[in-house]
């Protein structure tokens, strides 16, 4: 089956620090890969995605590269802001299934 | 509508009561999903509709859970004889086309169910 291993939280950083949240997955075939974010009191929303190997997804200063050889999709940001405080979910989406498989989420808190 | 709307946002039920949770997807969206999110966990798939057809209900935890989308738009998730372990946030999501790996889902804010 499909599974996701996501870096456990919570993660607390100071503003302007570098962020990495690790994500590895197992899936049949070559899934599309997503990062979703959940801000306090809001629904999940797409942060970025990559649909094939070596693609880099990017949005709001966040980046993640689809690494087929290591089955990873690590999320990075060079300089975090207080407004980035949220829960981040890694989610591979196998093309042959009708489901996203979400990781357990990583709580990020950025302090001013 | 502009986004996915869910109601009620909060529901408290006594154990054994039946509850119904409503999802209003983005107008015209073909695919609709229900997920269950326990506290501190990622969402877990419950069921998927393509228009009015329920194509996958493999994630429904028991026969107390039932979902429908009779006209291919609004969907209702019904939980009969609620138990304490049903306490969770129930998320609805929709996407514009039939699900493929590359589709982006738009999520509602969720319905938080607490069973006493």
Question: What does the pLDDT look like over A92-102, one tens digit per residue?
Answer: 887 654 667 88
Give the per-residue pLDDT at A19.
Answer: 97
pLDDT band at A67 (very low <50, low <70, confident <90, very high): very high
A96 vs B116, residue with greater confidence: B116
Give the per-residue pLDDT at A74.
Answer: 97
Contact assessment for residue B19 and residue B82, using Cβ atoms and an 8 Å cutoff = yes
Give the per-residue pLDDT at B1.
Answer: 55
Q: What is the mean pLDDT of residues A50-77?
A: 94
pLDDT band at A2 (very low <50, low <70, confident <90, very high): confident
Q: Terminal CA-to-CA distance of chain A, rounded, Å?
A: 41
B102 vs B34, residue with greater confidence: B34
| B60 contacts chain A (CB < 8 A) | no
Nearest to A16 by CA among A77, A70, A63, A69: A77
- All residues of chain A having their beta carbon less than 8 Å from the beta carbon of residue B91 are 43-44
Contact B45 A100 (CB under 8 A): yes
Give the per-residue pLDDT at A101.
Answer: 84
Q: Which residue of A has its CA nearest to B110?
A: A43
How far apart (Å, rounded) are the C-alpha atoms in residues A66 and A75?
10
| A102 contacts chain B (CB < 8 A) | yes
- Give tens-digit pLDDT for B30-80: 999 999 999 888 999 999 999 999 999 989 999 999 999 999 999 999 999
B38-42 own/partner pairs: CB under 8 Å, 24+ apart: B38/B88, B39/B88, B40/A104, B40/A105, B41/A104, B41/A105, B42/A4, B42/A6, B42/A89, B42/A91, B42/A102, B42/A103, B42/A104, B42/A105
A94 vs B11, residue with greater confidence: B11
Contact A98 B56 (CB under 8 A): yes
Give the per-residue pLDDT at A42.
Answer: 86
Q: What is the mean pLDDT of residues A30-35?
A: 88
- All residues of chain A having their beta carbon less than 8 Å from the beta carbon of residue B38 are none
How far apart (Å, rounded) are the C-alpha atoms in residues B107 and A13?
28
Contact B48 A103 (CB under 8 A): no
Q: What is the largest CA-CA distance in chain B?
A: 40
pLDDT band at A73 (very low <50, low <70, confident <90, very high): very high
Q: Please count the helices (runs of H) and the strands (runs of E) in chain A.
A: 0, 11
- All residues of chain B having their beta carbon less than 8 Å from the beta carbon of residue A31 are 101
How far apart (Å, rounded) are the C-alpha atoms in residues B24 and B36?
17
How far apart (Å, rounded) are the C-alpha atoms in residues B4 and A100?
18
Distance in Å, alpha carbon of B93 to nearest chain A alpha carbon:
9
């Amino acid at each position: 089956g499909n599974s996701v291993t996501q870096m456990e939280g919570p993660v607390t950083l100071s503003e302007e620090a570098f962020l990495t949240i690790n994500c590895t997955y197992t899936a049949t075939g070559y899934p599309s890969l997503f990062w979703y974010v959940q801000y306090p009191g809001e629904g999940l929303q797409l942060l970025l995605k990559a649909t094939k190997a070596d693609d880099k997804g990017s949005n709001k200063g966040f980046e993640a590269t689809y690494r087929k050889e290591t089955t990873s999709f690590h999320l990075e940001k060079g300089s975090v802001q207080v407004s980035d405080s949220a829960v981040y979910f890694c989610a591979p989406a196998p093309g042959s299934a009708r489901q996203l498989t979400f990781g357990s989420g990583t709580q990020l808190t950025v302090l001013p | 509508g502009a986004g996915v709307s869910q109601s009620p946002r909060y529901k408290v039920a006594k154990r054994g009561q039946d509850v119904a949770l409503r999802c209003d997807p983005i107008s015209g969206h073909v695919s609709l999903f229900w997920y269950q999110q326990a506290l501190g966990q990622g969402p877990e798939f419950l069921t998927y509709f393509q228009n009015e057809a329920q194509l996958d209900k493999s994630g429904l935890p028991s026969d107390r859970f039932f979902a429908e989308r009779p006209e291919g738009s609004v969907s209702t998730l019904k939980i009969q004889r609620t138990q304490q372990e049903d306490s969770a946030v129930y998320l609805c999501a929709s996407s514009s086309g039939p699900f493929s790996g590359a589709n982006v889902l738009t999520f509602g804010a969720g319905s938080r169910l607490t069973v006493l």
